[in-house]
Amino acid sequence: FLRHVRRCRLLLYVLDALDASGSGLSPAEQYRALHRELSLYNPEYTRRPHIVAINKLDMLLELEGRDATAARKAAEVQAVLAAAAELSAADPLLSTPLGVLGISAKAARGLDKLQQLIDAGLSSAGAASLTLDAT
């Protein structure tokens, strides 16, 4: 499956705000794990432009309420950004996220902003794709 990433100019990491998979990982830990898997398969993939979407905020809202969800969303975004900065400090060639945002795919919240980030990322990745596809 990961060999198909070589054709991608932009990656979208979709992380689970509630860890519905039961792995016990926070979004920041999921980000690190995903980064590690990509790096093990092909370190070049970790240099690709990417966006991080923290999904299932609708479920968080149901469980925790509006104020707690807003605070947790902000904390999770900051934790993912900190994880990205930490990884980037260890390897300056790594790509840091073009954006990190909370979404609810089910409730269609945050998807407009996500689409804007994807469009901007694809536009800026257009010229870079020629060099990335050559590898």
Residue pLDDT, tens place only, 16-75: 988 766 678 999 999 999 999 999 999 999 999 999 999 998 887 787 778 877 888 889
Model pLDDT, residue 18: 82
Q: What is the pLDDT of residue 50?
A: 95
pTM of the model: 0.85
55 forms beta bridges with 16
- What tokens does 132 get? 């990335």
Is residue 17 classed as helix, strand or coil in its secondary structure?
Answer: coil
Q: Averaged over 102-120, what is the pLDDT?
A: 94
Beta-sheet strands, E only, within the chain: 11-16, 50-55, 99-102
User: Edge-to-edge strand order for the sheet containing 11-16?
Assistant: 11-16, 50-55, 99-102
Q: What is the token pair recorded at 101?
A: 């945002």
